[in-house]
């Protein structure tokens, strides 16, 4: 088998690109869904010693299947320890012990501000979303924030409908002016590209296109005028190991949630 397999989906590319951003010594506060998949692929490949923390208080989790929610028993069963939610937020998160907060978004603007509350006006929304949970605190107290989401004009918008989690606000030094000392969003990984904030304006800028993706495709699925770095790169395609790890994890998860009893790794 070659180093890279030619057949992979945009979502697989997104998850694997996101996983590569994590380091072995990271302490990562993990969101459910795409962030959880990326973090666990990292743990199962190049970052076996990464510390994964979920909002329910589980520390050092090593799930064999992806959790359905922060209350999934798989997280507690595989954790090094489980602490109370107040301890999780006050001691671990607000105490500055989290290196990476990994979040998803229903809506995102170009400065990394996140909406997970409502689509439309708050009093009478078109859609009511799950809400912020711990994300607002994660966004301000983690040393850095990584965001992952599939691109669409509905999701990546000029102005979010509700301000759930603070990114870079109005851009520039807005975080610092509000007394927020953490770095905020430093990386956005979508199914088409990798983005990083401009050092001065803090507007997300495309630094790498995934294999086979054009600038036009990125712009067509984004609600603001996209900026591209002058030194635009191509994201390395997934390796055979990365794809196998992700697909095996997804297969175990599907089997476990279907109740077949075949979800656990041997």
- Residues contacting 41, CB < 8 A, separation 6+: 15, 16, 19, 242, 245, 246, 249
Burial of 84 (0-12, 13-18, 19+ CB in 10 A): exposed
HEC states along 76-96?
A: HHCCCEECCHHHHHHHHHCCC
Sign of CA dihedral 45, 234, 144, 129: negative
Most distant pair of Cα atoms in the chain: their distance: 55
d(CA 129, CA 249): 27
Beta bridge partners of 188: 147, 195
Q: How many other CB atoms are found less than 10 A from the CB of residue 10? A: 15
* 3-state SS class at 263: coil
Residue carrying structure tokens 């711990």: 134
Q: Which of 55, 74, 137, 203 is catalytic?
A: 55
Tokens of 26: 């990271």
Nearest to 13, CA basis, from 146, 147, 212: 212
170 annotated active-site: no
Q: Which residues are catalytic?
A: 55
């Amino acid at each position: 088998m070659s180093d890279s397999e030619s057949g992979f989906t945009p979502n697989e590319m997104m998850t694997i690109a996101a996983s590569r951003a994590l380091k072995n010594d990271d302490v990562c506060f993990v969101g459910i869904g795409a962030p959880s998949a990326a973090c666990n692929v990292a743990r199962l490949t190049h970052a076996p010693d990464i510390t994964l923390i979920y909002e329910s208080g589980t520390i050092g989790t090593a799930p064999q299947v992806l959790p359905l929610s922060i209350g999934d028993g798989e997280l507690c069963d595989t954790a090094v320890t489980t602490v109370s939610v107040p301890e999780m937020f006050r001691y671990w998160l607000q105490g500055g012990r989290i290196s990476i907060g990994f979040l998803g978004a229903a809506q995102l603007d170009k400065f990394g501000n996140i909406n997970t509350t409502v689509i439309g006006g708050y009093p009478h929304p078109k859609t009511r979303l799950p809400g912020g949970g711990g994300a607002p605190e994660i966004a301000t107290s983690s040393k850095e924030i990584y965001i992952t989401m599939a691109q669409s004009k509905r999701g990546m918008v000029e102005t979010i409908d509700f301000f759930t989690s603070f990114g870079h606000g109005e851009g520039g030094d807005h975080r610092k002016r509000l007394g927020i000392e953490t770095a905020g969003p430093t990386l956005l990984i979508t199914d088409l590209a990798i983005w990083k904030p401009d050092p001065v304006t803090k507007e997300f800028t495309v630094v790498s296109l995934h294999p086979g993706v054009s600038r036009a495709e990125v712009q067509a699925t984004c609600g603001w005028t996209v900026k591209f770095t002058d030194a635009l790169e191509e994201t390395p395609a997934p390796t055979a190991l990365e794809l196998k790890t992700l697909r095996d994890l997804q297969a175990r998860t599907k089997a476990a949630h279907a109740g077949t009893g075949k979800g656990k790794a041997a």
